[in-house]
Amino acid sequence: MREFIEEKIREIRETVGSKKAIIALSGGVDSSTAAILAHKAIGDKLYAVFVNTGLLRKGEPEFVVKTFKEDFGLNLIYVDAQKRFFDALRGIVDPEQKRKVIGKVFIDLFEEVAKDIGAEFLIQGTIAPDWIESKGGIKSHHNVGGLPERLNLKIIEPLRDLYKDEVRELAKELGLPEKIYRRMPFPGPGLAARVVGEVTPEKVRIVREANAIVEEEIEKAQLKPWQAFAVLLGVKTVGVQGDIRAYKETIALRVVESLDGMTANAMNVPFEVLQRIAFRIVSEIPEVGRVLYDVTNKPPATIEFE
């Protein structure tokens, strides 16, 4: 791992030279690791752009700014683009279309920021499963597939040959906080991949709250799945509240075990834990009236719903 770090630092330093590079930092393990690696190589010539898409997990924007700007001293540019993403997503239902729209807004923003900075290089935290699955046409992972030539930036992908467990090891070696290297994978399109159908700020707020409850309870139960999250199905079902008929949203829980995300098994989560999660979701989120557990493996189902 040490050798790998030295080699990548040398490579990035030689490639970038006296020019500038930018990276899209999401706070996930892949982009965080790539950013710290690049920061070690080129210091302030690296501009880390953090886009608040409005599709991030609870507390994530604050955490990313604190960790990378204050703790690691990166040149961090915070872009609040929530409205822009929600506007672009209005009326879009098809999962691939959503991914494409999100990818496009991302790239448009990047082009603007990169122009201002005058960067020539784009550092990306792409890992092996990203480009393997994109090549297979399974899902267009926006950090690989959607990058148009017009960006006119030369791409550097230091983690291209690594799998997730190797990236985590690398992150640890680089001194990143445990909260980052132990963090569950999170898709590029963010919570948009966990809202089935049209994405609205209101739906994202619901799935974000539910997701936070899932993460908290899974951690409390000391379970170590590959991923545990909530999905807003966009299906309303009937319930009772007091003596009154209720008609509310349905949340699906997805908890999977996996080695690299390429295949996965639904986790045998203790029933009490599932019930605690369900109880908290329906009591703390007034819009939700029912919680389901997804027991499907990958394949045939993918991990994310969209």
Choosing from 54, 146, 189, 225, the residue that interacts with ligand XMP (CB under 6 A) is 189
Shortest Å distance, C-beta 228 to ligand XMP: 11
- Measured distance CA(24)–CA(3) in Å, rounded: 25
Q: Identify the CA nearest to 225 among candidates 183, 190, 188.
A: 183
31 contacts ligand XMP (rule: CB under 6 A): no
Choosing from 27, 95, 187, 289, the residue that interacts with ligand XMP (CB under 6 A) is 187
> Would you give the end-to-end CA distance of the chain in angstroms?
34
- Measured distance CA(22)–CA(155) in Å, rounded: 10
- Measured distance CA(59)–CA(268) in Å, rounded: 28
Listed in order, strand segments (DSSP E) in the chain are 21-24, 46-52, 75-80, 121-123, 154-156, 227-241, 244-257, 265-266, 288-293
Choosing from 57, 141, 183, 208, the residue that interacts with ligand XMP (CB under 6 A) is 141
Of residues 157-176, which lie at the interface with ligand XMP (CB under 6 A)? none
Choosing from 188, 278, 289, 291, the residue that interacts with ligand XMP (CB under 6 A) is 188
Q: Would you say 229 and 187 are in contact if contact means Cβ atoms under 8 Å apart?
A: no
Q: Which is nearer to ligand XMP, 24 or 282 (CB)?
A: 24
Choosing from 39, 45, 139, 290, the residue that interacts with ligand XMP (CB under 6 A) is 139
**110: which 2 tokens?**
């990047």
61 contacts ligand XMP (rule: CB under 6 A): no
Shortest Å distance, C-beta 97 to ligand XMP: 14
Q: Which is nearer to ligand XMP, 8 or 164 (CB)?
A: 164
H or E element at residue 169: helix 164-173
Of residues 279-298, which lie at the interface with ligand XMP (CB under 6 A)? 298
Name the segment binding ligand XMP (CB under 6 A); options: 39-47, 184-192, 211-219, 241-249: 184-192
302 contacts ligand XMP (rule: CB under 6 A): yes
Shortest Å distance, C-beta 143 to ligand XMP: 5
Q: Identify the CA nearest to 124 among candidates 105, 104, 139, 146.
A: 146
Shortest Å distance, C-beta 58 to ligand XMP: 17
- Measured distance CA(174)–CA(168) in Å, rounded: 10
For tokens 């990236």, the residue is 167
Of residues 246-275, which lie at the interface with ligand XMP (CB under 6 A)? 261
Residues that bind ligand XMP (CB under 6 A): 130, 133, 139, 141-143, 185, 187-189, 227, 261, 298, 302-304
